Copies of this chain bind each other. A is one copy, B any other.
Amino acid sequence: MTHLPLGPGREFDRIRAIEATLGARAAALGDDCALIPLDNGDMMALSTDTSLEGTHFRRDWLTPEEIGWRAAASALSDLAAEGAEVIGLLAALTLPGDVTDAMATAIMSGVGACVSEVGGKVLGGDLTRGTSLSVTVTVVGRAPRAVTRHGANAGDGVWVTGTLGSARAALAAWDSGREPRPTARIAFARPLPRIAAGRFLADVGATAMLDLSDGLAGDARHLAAASGVALDIDLAKLPIGAGVTEAASALQVSPAVFAAEGGEDYELLATLPPRSAAKLKQAAAELRVPFTLIGSVHAGEGVRLHLDGQEISIAGYDHFR
């Protein structure tokens, strides 16, 4: 089995233990997607992702359609991170007794709306009666050239799509008993999977890519570990999302640190050779996605985050709490 290095963290210790036990019974684990070679040289990309009430969402935060949309978007984001196009998804719902049939249908309607928005279909599913509401989405895509986490080279630039921190700003508002600002709320409730941006980044030569589900600080470490390189990131360059300045100020941290710590943005982090930079600037308007250069790749290991000349230490975000 090919072992793909992961960054530090207890969740990743568990994955390493499972990989060690499975040995040859597992393919290479640890990238955004499993990749299966097809006869024409394309790769089929697959990933599975569970959204669980109480851990990933609450029913007093999101409508049933948004619960479905967000579950689908979070899984589809892994296809975006491979540079894949979307074929579709399968959704396994576990429904507690207080979820009506109409709510279950509304959740699936949100799943369908999200996958349809990025060109795919609902391919199948499963319904189970249980005690916790959960939506496990398995996405299926294909890519002429899949971009993994392990190809970053010294000299590449480090780029990010969209803006960061708004999903965390929404969570911070709910945590303090307030309703989030609409733009921050939408960032959390209806993130748009970056499929078009991911395909474009693959086309123009991205050397490594992943999606920011665990926050920039933690995810950058995975990319650095998998590629065997060091990343240097200037937090002053981060594209800051709506609602972040206000939420960061309430916690007395800088907006950039708040955004770098937050998980669940589902934006893409990619490394590209310098010659690709001009193409990104041209495409941003057409794709309606900002691309921002936030750092550079060097020989070495680990991630160095700095802000206003000072090195900053930031913990990764751990879904597995």
Contacts and interface: CB of A to CB of B under 8 A. Distances in A.
15 contacts: A13-B101, A17-B101, A25-B112, A26-B123, A27-B122, A29-B122, A34-B88, A46-B123, A46-B138, A48-B126, A50-B126, A56-B128, A92-B138, A94-B132, A131-B131
Contacts of A21: 105, 108-109, 112
For this chain, the copies found in one complex come to: 2
* Most chain B beta-carbon neighbours within 10 Å: one of A13, A18, A55: A18
A315 interface: no
A92 B136 contact: yes
A136 B104 contact: no
Interface stretch (A36-44, A194-202, A296-304): A36-44
A15 interface: yes
A124 B123 CA distance: 19
A82 B126 CA distance: 17
A222 interface: no
Nearest to A31: B124
Given A127-B14, A130-B52, A130-B55, A25 B115 contact: yes
Interface string A2-43: 000000000101110110011001110100011010111000
B25 A113 contact: yes
B38 A90 contact: no
B131 A48 contact: no
A124 B87 contact: no
Given A14-B101, A17-B105, A90 B36 contact: no
Given A121-B25, A122-B26, A55 B104 contact: no
A123 B101 CA distance: 33
Interface size classification for chain A: 35 or more
A92 B92 CA distance: 10
Contacts of A94: 50, 52, 132, 134
A116 interface: yes
Contacts of A22: 108-109, 112, 122
Interface in A161-207: none
Contact of A91 (B36, B48, B115, B320): B48
Interface string A85-116: 00110111010000001001100110011011
A47 interface: yes
A129 interface: yes
B124 A48 contact: yes
A288 interface: no
Nearest to A112: B25
